[in-house]
Amino acid sequence: MSLEDVQVILQEFSTVIRFLIAVLGIVATLLPFIQRLDDLLPSFIARFLSSIFQLVGLFDLLYYIRPRKYYEKLFRELNESELATTSYASNICITSSISPDDPSALVSGLVNTGNSCFLNSVLQALSSLPYLHEHLQAINNSSTATALPVTRSLLKILRRLTQPLYRHSSFRPTEIATALSSNRRITSREQQDAQEFFQLVSSALDTEGQQGAIRHFTFNNIQLNLPTKYTATLDECLSRFTAMEYLDDASCRLCSLQATLQTIKEEIRCSKKEKRKKLEMNKKHIEQAIKMNRIEDEEIECIRASGGVSSKQVMIAKPPRILCLHVSRSAYMNTGMVYKNPCRLIFPEYLDVAPYTTGGHLNTIDPRLPISTGRSARVLYKLMSVVVHYGSHSFGHFVAYKRRIYTDQCGCNKCQKKENYRSQEDWYRISDTKVDKCDLENVLSSNPYMLIYEMVEEAHYDTSLETEDEQQQEEERDVSSLYSTMDEASKAALSIANALLAQDEEISIMK
């Protein structure tokens, strides 16, 4: 290669470098303009330009080349440190020019103020719960004379996280952090747990709920332990959670009293008069204790061990409107070290908890039998949000998946219309300030740390959520009604013919 060839190559290379520098200069110049399209241009022009920038990936490019100071300046107006302690302050307006069916709509992200991904992920997950929005709104409107800082700050943040946007935007959740600032877990810069923050928020809501005219609903979580294997289903974990547990080193006080009473009755028949008097007195004390439900009375000294089987079982007595399932991934090695259980949990979009719910009648007689049978009617829940943890047991990052919800009207003090939140099939994957759209398949393929379901109304049961078994039963009922005038022999022949026909269809399918 001659010297002239080298000079030509260097000139072409310098030309490319100058072109790239010019492009970066143009991008840096357009940076403030692109970020404030909604403020500078009419809405239809802003939507058109936003779609073009998003199509060519310009938003992602700008996101990575912007300095940190620019974001701090941009979000300064959103970082309010004052608490929302009044009904007016928390009931912000969420009106938007974006149509509810617009597939390009986004939602706000949350700025990570230093290992606060646990807080951001839980707040994003809670923002997709329509019933929580409605209930907090009812608390906010009814308790106007009470401060309720946690309730109102949470409501304000959830409303902002629900408002549809055309561009990427984020803010710092300083109000809820200020309301919970008495807890060191929130104010420290160390990484914390999402489930612990969920418990902290629910406890604060319960405490403030005792002050209002409308009491807070049951808002707690169920902890599920994962097996030590590669994959497991959510139904399998719930079955383990509600399974019978037989206890060797524990005894039931009531069972022991009943066994002692039976033994004393037998001894009374065989004892002499001198001993019978004391036994009669003990028998009277035990019968009175059982009748008055004073089974823990320490004055009863003649109690004896029942010698029977002791068992324990946990079931859902009253299904909550919001069901939060915490998947415990803590596991222990033989050396005592703690590690994260990587078991892949398979979970459905719709969950029926009827098999794990009491049927209304409790069995307290035979400890070897289940405490109750499951409900016959379905108790159906719909998946609304998922919290996923990436990393090891001690370190990592929390990400939230949430279903998009929307309302056609705003119920703020200015609009004063009735809000009716509804859920859609659109999903978002949110990692602090990064908000990306995703589909249900991506959500169900994640390995969850927390699952949040919301109860489905009974009116929706028999339409879109009807199972194959119920459809088959419905078809059988229709067939039987068509031939209701036939005699029993004709019905039997028809049943055999239908069975043979179904068999032939199965054979043809296999062929």
SS (H, E, C) 361-416: CCCCCCCCCCCCCECCCCCEEEEEEEEEEEECCCCEEEEEEEEEEECCCCCCCCCC
Note whether 210 and 272 are same-domain residues. Answer: no
Q: Is the pLDDT of residue 494 over 60?
A: no
Could you tell me the CA-to-CA distances from 174 to 111, 149, 202 in Å, in that order?
10, 12, 18
The pLDDT tens digits for 176-224 are: 877 876 544 554 444 578 888 898 888 888 877 665 544 445 556 789 9
pLDDT of 32 reads: 66
Within a domain: 27? yes
Find the DSSP H helices in 104-228. 117-126, 130-142, 149-162, 174-179, 184-187, 194-209
Task: With CA atoms as reference, report the closest residue to 118 among 68, 177, 206.
Answer: 177
Q: Residue 204: which of 220, 174, 180 has the closest Cα? A: 180
Q: How far is CA 374 from the centre of its chain?
A: 23
Q: Are residues 227 and 172 in the same domain?
A: yes
Q: Cα separation of 131 and 272, whole Å?
A: 69
CATH number, domain with residue 211: 3.90.70.10
What is the span of the domain harbouring residue 283?
A: 253-307
- 301: in domain: yes
Tell me if 500 is assigned to some domain: no
Does residue 461 come out as left (phi exceeding 0), alpha (psi in the -120 to 50 range) or beta?
alpha
The CA distance from 380 to 458, in Å, is 8
Query: Could you tell me if 88 and 118 lie in one domain?
Result: yes
Residues 188 and 215 in one domain: yes
The CA distances from residue 261 to 158, 252, 267, 284, 309, in Å, are: 58, 14, 10, 9, 17
pLDDT at 338: 86
Note whether residue 501 is domain-resident.
Answer: no
Residues 212 and 343 in one domain: yes
User: Residue 127 domain-assigned?
Assistant: yes
Same domain, 13 and 135: no
202 and 150 together in one domain = yes
| Same domain flag for 264 and 388 | no
Task: Give the helix, strand, coil percentages of the chain, each rounded to 5.
Answer: 45, 15, 40
User: Residue 47 in contact with residue 97, Cβ under 8 Å?
Assistant: no
Helix residue ranges, H only, 163-314: 174-179, 184-187, 194-209, 234-241, 253-270, 273-291
pLDDT: which is higher, 404 or 174? 404
Tell which of 307, 325, 350 closes a domain: 307
Tell me the HSE value of 438 on the side-chain side, using a 13 A CA sphere.
20
Q: Give per-residue pLDDT as tens, 350-365.
A: 999 988 888 766 555 5
The answer as to whether 471 is a domain residue is no
Number of neighbouring beta carbons within 10 Å of residue 84: 27
Please give the radius of gyration of the chain, using alpha carbons only, rounded to the nearest integer: 32
| Same domain as 357, residue 332 | yes
* Tokens (6 digits) for 61: 């490019």
Look up residue 484 and give its DSSP letter.
Answer: T
Question: Is 80 exceeded by the pLDDT of residue 501?
Answer: no
Report if residue 82 sits inside a domain: yes
| Total domains in the fold of the chain | 3
Could you give the percent of the chain with pLDDT greater than 90? 18
Q: Of the residues 417, 441, 460, which one is the last residue of a structural domain?
A: 460
Asked whether residue 281 is domain-assigned, the answer is yes
Are 84 and 222 found together in one domain?
yes
- What does the pLDDT read at residue 317? 79
Closest CA to 80 of 68, 70, 89: 89
389-446 pLDDT tens trace: 998 887 889 999 999 988 877 777 777 777 778 888 889 999 999 999 999 999 999 9
C-beta atoms surrounding 310 within 10 Å: 16
239 and 266 co-located in one domain: no
Last residue of a domain, one of 438, 460, 482: 460
Together in a domain, 88 and 183: yes
Tell me, yes or no, if the pTM score tops 0.75.
Answer: no
Match 């659109």 to its residue by tokens.
Answer: 426
Give me the pLDDT at residue 450, please.
Answer: 95
- The lowest-confidence range among 123-127, 262-266, 475-479 is 475-479
Task: Please give the Cα distance from 345 to 231 (Å, whole number).
Answer: 6
